Amino acid sequence: MRSRTLRRLVGRRRPSSGTSPASLRRRPAQVVAAGFLGAIAVGTLLLSLPVATTGRTATLVEAFFTATSAACVTGLVVVDTETFWSPFGQVVILALIQVGGFGVMTVATLLGLLLWRRMGLRTRLVAAESTHTIGLGEVRRVMLGALRLTLVAEASLAAVLAVRLVVGYGEPVGHAAWSGVFHAVSAFNNAGFSLYADSLVRFVSDPWVCLPISAAVVVGGIGFPVLVELTRRIRIEDRTRPLVLHPRRWSVHTRLTLLMTASLLGVGTAFFLAVEWANPRTLGALDVPGRFVAAATQSVMARTAGFNSIDTTAMDHGSWFFTDVLMFVGGGSGGTAGGIKVGTMAVLAVVVWAELRGDPDVTAFDRRVAQVVQRQAVTVTLVAAAAVAVVTLLITTSVPASAVSLDRILFEVVSALSTTGLSTGITADLEPWHQCLLAALMFLGRLGPITLGTGLALRQRRRLYRLPESAVVIG
pLDDT at 349: 94
pLDDT at 179: 95
Within a domain: residue 199? yes
Query: Can you say how many angstroms the Cα of residue 246 is from the centroid of all Cα atoms in its chain?
Result: 27
Within a domain: residue 96? yes
Are the C-beta atoms of 384 and 328 separated by less than 8 Å? Answer: yes
What is the chain's length? 475
C-alpha triplet 336, 341, 343: angle, nearest 5°: 120
Within a domain: residue 472? no
Q: How high is the mean pLDDT of the chain?
A: 82
Q: What are phi and psi of 130, to 5 degrees?
A: -95, -25
Could you tell me the pTM of the whole model?
A: 0.84
pLDDT at 454: 57
pLDDT digits (tens, 9 = 90+) for 302-351: 988 889 999 999 999 999 999 999 999 998 887 788 899 999 999 999 99
SS3 195: coil
Within a domain: residue 473? no
- Distance from C-alpha of 185 to C-alpha of 387, rounded to nearest angstrom: 29
Within a domain: residue 347? yes
pLDDT at 245: 59
Count of structural domains within the chain: 1
Within a domain: residue 378? yes
- Distance from C-alpha of 24 to C-alpha of 464, rounded to nearest angstrom: 28
User: To the nearest 5 percent, what fractions of the chain are helix, strand and coil?
Assistant: 70, 0, 30
Domain range for 108 is 27-236+250-458
What letter does residue 52 receive in the DSSP assignment? G
* Continuous segment of H or E residues that includes residue 213: helix 207-221
Amino acid at 97: I
Residue ranges, the chain, pLDDT below 70: 1-32, 104-144, 232-246, 449-463, 471, 475
- Distance from C-alpha of 188 to C-alpha of 305, rounded to nearest angstrom: 9
pLDDT digits (tens, 9 = 90+) for 206-215: 999 999 999 9
Within a domain: residue 3? no
Q: Which residues contact 382 (CB under 8 A, 6 or more apart)?
A: none
Within a domain: residue 241? no
C-alpha triplet 354, 359, 365: angle, nearest 5°: 60
Are the C-beta atoms of 282 and 293 separated by less than 8 Å? Answer: no
